[in-house]
Amino acid sequence: MRIPTSVAAFDVIVNGGIPSGSVVILAGEPGAGNLEFSFTSAAKLSLARENESFRKFLIMEGEDICLPKGTLYISISKTREEILRAVDLTFNEDLSSAFRNNLIFRDLSSEYFRNSIVPRKWISSEPRDILRKKGNLLEEFVNLIDENAHERIVIVDSLTDLAISPRIEFGELVDVIKGLRRAAKKWNSVIYLLLTTGILEKREENLLFDSVDGVLIFEWQGSRYSKRFRYMYVLKFVGLMSSLEEERIARFNTTLDKANGFVVVNTEKIR
């Protein structure tokens, strides 16, 4: 089975979508589009589920194409209000409303900021919540995703927060991601892990990349003296690389707009 990304030009090339059960790192430079890619996928899939007239414009039909029943958004350090505000600023009303529909939002910021210098009142209107919950951050993450990820698009915002947390051993995080890759094959879901590039050591980045099914890279091209363009390319992806090789795709030129979200505007081919 395949689950559409709803990024139209990309789905066409990968035969309608990405394999169900995939764990995918969306690795990008700040502002290059990895967050918007995940927003767009969640919003358009929700819109396709709730409005049959839009469905044919948003996804490719096929016997092996399936739509998840909703979105699970796990935030490590951001509030629900912060995420929904970003969605409202990114999309028009139709896509913004669709993103909210069938959304399960889980906030781990109380665990993330525990024992930090950050004042409790900044994290919760009920500071006692931070004192009440004393679980392990990584265990809380595992429990949330295990309980809620089935048959959903899952967005983890972000893998960067987990990787740099002083409360998490990096080796344990890698083990969890490898275990997640195994478990996701039974869930009929797609799991997007957001990662900001240039923060971790190269060895750590490669360990994470090696632990998942797919890695999409989002980057800027150009200089401060000329117009800059957003690009996406597939670093690795089990089950998709043969299609990309056949089409001789090097990278995708992308842009953002309120009516369509993250959009592929051009594909550059290997010559």
Contact, 85 vs 138, CB < 8 A?
no
Q: pLDDT higher for 89 or 111? A: 89
| Whole-number percent of the chain with pLDDT over 90 | 69
Q: Two tokens at 250?
A: 């090097």
Residue 53: band (very low, low, confident or very high) from pLDDT cuts 50, 70, 90: confident
**Average pLDDT, stretch 58-81?**
90
Query: Which residue in 230, 74, 45 sits closest to 144, CA to CA?
Result: 74
Q: How much is the pLDDT for 132? A: 53
Domain that holds residue 150: 2-269
Query: pTM for this one?
Result: 0.94
Q: Say how many residues make up the chain.
A: 271
SS (H, E, C) the chain: CEECCCCHHHHHHCCCCEECCCEEEEEECCCCCHHHHHHHHHHHHHHHHHCHHHHHHHCCCCCCECCCCEEEEEECCCCHHHHHHHHHHHCCHHHHHHHHCCEEEEECHHHHCCCCCCCHHHHCCCCHHHHHCCCCHHHHHHHHHHHHCCCEEEEEECHHHHHHCCCCCHHHHHHHHHHHHHHHCCCCCEEEEEEECCCCCHHHHHHHHHCCCEEEEEEEECCCCCCCEEEEEEEEECCCHHHHHHHCEEEEEEEEECCCEEEEEEEEECC
Per-residue pLDDT, 226: 65
Among 75-89, 147-161, 203-217, 219-233, name the one with the lowest average pLDDT: 219-233
Tally of domains within the chain: 1
Whether 62 has a pLDDT exceeding 90, the answer reads no
**What is the per-residue pLDDT for 223?**
64
Q: Is the pLDDT of residue 100 over 80?
A: yes
Name the token pair of 80: 């629900």
Is the pLDDT reported for residue 259 higher than 80?
A: yes
Determine the pLDDT at residue 192.
98
pLDDT value of residue 150: 95
Confidence of residue 163 (pLDDT cuts 50, 70, 90): very high
Q: What is the pLDDT of residues 105-155, one digit of tens each?
A: 999 988 898 878 888 778 776 655 545 555 689 999 999 999 999 999 999
CATH number for the domain that contains residue 117:
3.40.50.300
How does residue 245 score in pLDDT terms, banded at 50, 70 and 90? confident
Q: What does pLDDT average to over the chain?
A: 90
The proportion of the chain whose per-residue pLDDT surpasses 70, expressed as a percent, equals 94
Higher pLDDT, 135 or 218: 218
